[in-house]
């Protein structure tokens, strides 16, 4: 009877032990949350699978974390340097420039902003309007030099020069009459005669003496302004 009781007790203990063993073995396989227990060899074998998965995920995490840390910790300095490198090296200067003013580097942003307009406006004003008025007086209309060049040029023969001089004198006489308010001459008529005479001179010079033709052509308006202005014309007539 005692042997039966002892045998039954041991069998019961074994059964209880087996019952405890089975659930414990199934838990780690079912839920990976048990790796911290590290009780058996199976847990150790199954654990490495999640472990490499975990390290693979962390590497991207550190980069993102680093970026986030960089952007979060020193946002101004980090973005400033990034913007500088980006604008210098890459083509994303526009985004960097748009970010920089928004970040608060107002001084640095306003300086570059102020610089381009300042450089652009002086360039246009100095190159466009400031330097162009300078050439306007530059013609200087050296009538004496032009006259001497006309006398010396070999592109026009003696008869032609004399004939041109006659026609110039005739036109000057008409201007004189116009300024004295005599006759029925008009500014338009004088301009037409002036243009015609200048056209004759240019047609005679354009093949034989192109530089002189260009000089006379460029002085066309200056000469006209001198002829049509009574005061200037008086000075010209005195010469």
Partner 1 sequence: MSHHASVLASAVVAVLGVAGSLRAEEPAMGRDLAATIALQGMPCDKVVSATRNGDSDYTATCKDGNRYHVFVDSTGRVVVQKL
For partner 1, the binding residues (CB under 8 A) are 156-160, 162-164, 166-167, 200, 204
Nearer to partner 1, 135 or 159 (CB): 159
Q: Is 214 within 8 Å of 205 (Cβ atoms)?
A: no
Percent of the chain that is helix, strand, coil (3-state, to 5): 80, 0, 20
3-state secondary structure of 113: helix
Our CB check for partner 1 shows the closer of 118 and 160 to be: 160
Report, in Å, the least distance between residue 206 CB and partner 1: 13
* Helices marked H in 104-153: 106-124, 143-152
Q: Is the Cβ of residue 42 or residue 203 nearer to partner 1 in the bound state?
A: 203
Instruction: Please give the backbone phi and psi of residue 154, each rounded to the nearest 5 degrees, phi first.
Output: -100, 5
CA separation for the pair 1, 8 (Å, rounded): 10
**Cα–Cα dist 134/136, whole Å:** 5
Looking at the Cβ atoms of 26 and 166, the one nearer to partner 1 is: 166
Smallest distance, partner 1 to C-beta of residue 159, A: 4
- Minimum distance of partner 1 from residue 142's CB (angstroms): 25
- Pick the closer one to partner 1 by CB: 109 or 201: 201
Task: Decide whether 59 or 152 has the Cβ nearer to partner 1.
Answer: 152
What is the residue whose two structure tokens read 């032009």? 146
In whole angstroms, the minimum distance from the beta carbon of 161 to partner 1 comes to: 9
Shortest distance, CB of residue 164 to partner 1, whole angstroms?
Answer: 7
First to last CA, the chain: 161
DSSP category for residue 98: H
What are φ and ψ of residue 19, in 5° steps?
Answer: -60, -40
Q: How far is the CB of 189 from partner 1 (least distance, A)?
A: 17
């Amino acid at each position: 009877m005692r042997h039966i009781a002892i045998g039954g007790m041991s069998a019961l203990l074994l059964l209880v032990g087996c019952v405890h063993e089975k659930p414990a073995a199934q838990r780690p396989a079912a839920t990976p949350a048990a790796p911290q227990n590290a009780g058996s060899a199976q847990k150790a074998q199954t654990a490495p699978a999640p472990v490499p998965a975990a390290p693979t995920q962390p590497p991207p995490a550190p980069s993102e974390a680093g970026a986030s840390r960089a952007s979060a910790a020193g946002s101004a300095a980090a973005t400033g340097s990034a913007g500088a490198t980006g604008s210098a090296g890459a083509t994303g200067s526009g985004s960097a420039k748009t970010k920089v003013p928004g970040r608060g580097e107002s001084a640095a942003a306003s300086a570059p902003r102020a610089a381009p307009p300042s450089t652009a406006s002086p360039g246009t004003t100095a190159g466009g309007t400031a330097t162009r008025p300078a050439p306007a007086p530059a013609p200087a209309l050296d009538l004496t030099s032009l006259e001497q060049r006309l006398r010396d040029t070999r592109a026009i023969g003696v008869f032609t020069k004399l004939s041109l001089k006659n026609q110039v004198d005739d036109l000057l006489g008409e201007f004189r009459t116009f300024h004295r308010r005599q006759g029925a001459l008009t500014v338009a008529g004088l301009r037409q005669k002036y243009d015609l005479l200048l056209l004759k001179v240019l047609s005679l010079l354009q093949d034989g003496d192109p530089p002189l033709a260009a000089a006379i052509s460029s002085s066309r308006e200056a000469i006209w302004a001198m002829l049509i202005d009574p005061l200037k014309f008086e000075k010209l007539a005195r010469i």
